[in-house]
């Protein structure tokens, strides 16, 4: 096993992004954590609030909110699902990731470590990270700020031996007792007889040492990913320009995709909600639903659709927080790479689905659709609009109907583009005219009947037409027909 630990020393402060600097979080009138500006002025953890204000009269303080910290830790755990599903939450500030099975996927321990730390920073958290074969050893290394990866169990005594005693979760009495033994580093403690340590400091302390060194098993309760995704992100400042919301939206999208990866699922729809600040009276939240041409958990694809929609969004007032919900989770298995490297889907369904999504984001969902053939001989009724996600090749009864209808279609050629209404053509010397005389290349093909809906409103009714393929003077291939009322243009070939 290999454990990657993220210790978040500034989490109590980071959950209040709009707090002005210099600032600090307090609990029971004592400083818990201070930002860089306050720390430079001498405001340190453990300091009384009155003394902190004496050092820095402009210090802004906020009471610690354990619930916010737990929600932020849960959100970070969902984001970490993009790297591994084996995650443990240790409130209030620690996250454990078991990453041994993820090393080959991400290119090795060093690359994975860098990606996790960089991604954590992008989520807005400063992390002290460590990598070790046992969870407790990784925790102690992270607390000490030792970020050099330790990959082998036999390296643990040397690596842990350099750590100060402060990394041990001991009472002041036991810390004083250890110092009285002449110990200053954890290595000094490891050289002492275990039996004597157990008598003086308790068997639990000795068991912790054994678990850290890998001598005893150390099972940890796994994080249970929520059934539904619903996360809220408070903005560090009020935003009036919709385009600027894309940065915060990317954080939530990365968290969503981590949750989807851990649950081996994908979504075809998600919903953003922008909460506005109330000035004179409350303003209802702006809701934006993003739809996708096929199931996805690709953060870049979701972000592209979000940015397209934000470019057309007008905000009534400034936004103070963003929420993202995704409820309709569907199974989306992973895909293997090609034999000679990364699979190229440039001409496949994914690229087509991405194009449909961008068109829907720019033009509106109602303006983009696909066409499916129908078992009907009259051209106006031989196709119908279907949801655009069928373009991506999703399985449905409509696809099966389209395939069977196409296989049974007649031998006559059919143009891709039909006019909304047939256009009447002039006739000269018995020949149809369209920017000059038309030359008939193929036909006639007789299409008739339709008596069954002749008396229904908004239907085509009974028809009797002879269709031809014609060539115009401009080289256009046209689909025309002749009936009792004369010649008509019905379609254009590509």
The number of helix segments (H) and strand segments (E) in the chain equals: 16, 20
Q: Where a domain ends, among 276, 303, 331?
A: 331
Query: In which band, very low, low, confident or very high, does the pLDDT at 452 lie, cut at 50, 70 and 90?
Result: confident
Domain that includes residue 421, residue range? 410-492
Cα 16 to Cα 23, 127, 236: the distances in Å are 10, 16, 8
Same domain? 204 vs 69: yes
Is 21 a domain residue?
Answer: no
Q: Could you give the percent of the chain with pLDDT greater than 70?
A: 89
Residue 278 dihedral angles phi and psi, to the nearest 5°: -90, 115
Collapse the DSSP code of 7 into the 3-class scheme (helix H, G, I; strand E, B; otherwise coil) and give the result.
Answer: strand
Is 482 a domain residue?
Answer: yes
Q: What is the CATH number of the domain that holds 285?
A: 3.30.1490.100
Of 33-42, 267-276, 381-390, least confident by mean pLDDT is 381-390
Query: In which band, very low, low, confident or very high, does the pLDDT at 336 lie, cut at 50, 70 and 90?
Result: low
Query: For residue 335, what pLDDT is reported?
Result: 63
pLDDT digits (tens, 9 = 90+) for 458-484: 677 778 888 999 988 888 899 889 898
pLDDT tops 70 at residue 113: yes
3-state secondary structure 144-194: HCCCCCCCCHHHHHHHHHCCEHHHCCCCHHHHHHHHHCCCCEHHHHHCCCH
pLDDT tops 90 at residue 372: no
Q: Does residue 262 contact residue 78 with C-beta atoms inside 8 Å? A: yes
Residue 17 to residue 107: CA distance in whole angstroms = 34
Q: Where a domain ends, among 276, 302, 331?
A: 331
Q: What is the mean pLDDT of the chain?
A: 86
pLDDT tops 80 at residue 387: no
pLDDT digits (tens, 9 = 90+) for 61-72: 999 999 999 999
Which of 373, 470, 367, 372 is closest to 427 using CA atoms?
470
Residue 366 to residue 269: CA distance in whole angstroms = 15
Cα 115 to Cα 108, 247, 381, 455: the distances in Å are 11, 19, 54, 67
Same domain? 394 vs 427: no
- Please state the domain count of the chain: 4
At 393, list the tokens: 């090749």
Same domain? 72 vs 197: yes
Same domain? 280 vs 253: yes
Q: What is the CATH number of the domain that holds 117?
A: 3.30.70.270
Query: For residue 448, what pLDDT is reported?
Result: 82
Answer with the residue of higher pLDDT: 99 or 291.
99
Query: In which band, very low, low, confident or very high, does the pLDDT at 407 lie, cut at 50, 70 and 90?
Result: very low
pLDDT digits (tens, 9 = 90+) for 71-92: 999 999 999 999 999 999 999 9
Same domain? 205 vs 241: no
Same domain? 69 vs 205: yes
Q: Could you give the percent of the chain with pLDDT greater than 90?
A: 58
Query: For residue 278, what pLDDT is reported?
Result: 67
CA torsion through residues 235, 237, 241, 247, sign: negative
Query: In which band, very low, low, confident or very high, does the pLDDT at 430 lie, cut at 50, 70 and 90?
Result: confident
Tell me which DSSP letter residue 291 carries.
E
Average pLDDT over residues 131-155: 95
Query: In which band, very low, low, confident or very high, does the pLDDT at 281 lie, cut at 50, 70 and 90?
Result: low
Is 185 a domain residue?
Answer: yes
Q: Where a domain ends, among 212, 242, 272?
A: 212
Same domain? 399 vs 439: no
Residue where the block lists tokens 């090609």: 338
pLDDT tops 60 at residue 398: no
pLDDT tops 70 at residue 391: no
Same domain? 148 vs 81: yes
Query: For residue 415, what pLDDT is reported?
Result: 85
pLDDT digits (tens, 9 = 90+) for 148-170: 999 999 999 999 999 999 999 88
Same domain? 300 vs 208: no
Query: In which band, very low, low, confident or very high, does the pLDDT at 401 lie, cut at 50, 70 and 90?
Result: very low
Same domain? 206 vs 313: no
Which of 360, 368, 370, 364 is closest to 393 using CA atoms?
370
């Amino acid at each position: 096993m290999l454990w990657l630990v993220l210790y978040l020393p500034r989490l109590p402060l980071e959950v209040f992004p709009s707090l002005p600097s210099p600032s600090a979080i307090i609990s029971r009138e004592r400083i818990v954590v201070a930002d860089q500006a306050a720390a430079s002025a001498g405001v340190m953890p453990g300091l009384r609030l009155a003394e902190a204000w004496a050092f820095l009269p402009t210090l802004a303080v906020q009471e610690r909110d354990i619930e916010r910290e737990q929600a932020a830790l849960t959100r970070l755990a969902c984001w970490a699902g993009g790297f591994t599903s084996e995650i443990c939450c240790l409130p209030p500030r620690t996250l454990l990731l078991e990453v041994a099975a993820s090393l080959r996927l991400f290119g090795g321990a060093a690359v994975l470590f860098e990606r996790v730390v960089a991604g954590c920073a992008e989520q807005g958290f400063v992390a002290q990270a460590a990598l070790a074969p046992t969870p407790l050893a990784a925790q102690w290394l992270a607390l000490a700020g030792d970020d050099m990866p330790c990959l082998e169990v036999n390296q643990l005594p040397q690596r842990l031996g350099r750590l100060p005693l402060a990394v041990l979760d001991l009472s002041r009495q036991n810390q004083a007792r250890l110092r009285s033994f002449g110990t200053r580093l954890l290595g000094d403690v490891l050289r002492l007889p275990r039996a004597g340590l157990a008598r003086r400091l308790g068997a639990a302390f000795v068991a912790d040492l054994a678990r850290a060194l890998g001598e005893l098993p150390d099972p940890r309760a796994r994080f249970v990913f929520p059934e539904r995704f619903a996360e809220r992100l408070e903005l560090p400042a009020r935003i009036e320009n919709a385009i600027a919301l894309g940065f915060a939206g990317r954080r939530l999208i990365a968290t969503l995709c981590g949750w989807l990866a851990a649950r081996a699922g994908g979504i075809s729809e998600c919903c953003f909600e922008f909460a506005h600040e109330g000035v004179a009276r409350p303003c209802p939240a702006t809701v934006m639903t993003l739809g996708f041409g096929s199931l996805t958990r690709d953060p870049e694809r979701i972000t592209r659709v979000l940015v397209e929609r934000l470019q057309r969004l007008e905000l009534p007032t400034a936004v103070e927080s963003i929420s993202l919900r995704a409820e309709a989770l569907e199974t989306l298995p992973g895909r293997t790479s090609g034999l000679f490297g990364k699979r190229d889907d440039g001409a496949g369904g994914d690229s087509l689905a991405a194009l449909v999504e961008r068109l829907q984001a720019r033009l509106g969902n109602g303006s983009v659709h696909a066409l499916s053939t129908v078992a009907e001989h009259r051209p106006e009724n031989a196709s119908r609009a279907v949801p655009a996600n069928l373009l991506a090749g999703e399985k449905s009864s409509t696809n099966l109907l389209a395939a069977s209808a196409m296989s049974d279609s007649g031998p006559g050629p059919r143009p891709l583009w039909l006019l909304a209404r047939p256009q009447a053509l002039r006739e000269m010397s018995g020949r149809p005219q369209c920017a000059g005389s038309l030359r008939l290349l193929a036909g006639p093909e007789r299409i008739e009947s339709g008596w069954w809906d002749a008396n229904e409103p908004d239907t085509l009714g009974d028809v009797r037409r002879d269709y031809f393929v014609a060539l115009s003077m401009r080289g256009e291939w046209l689909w025309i027909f002749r009936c009792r009322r004369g010649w008509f243009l019905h379609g254009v070939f590509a």
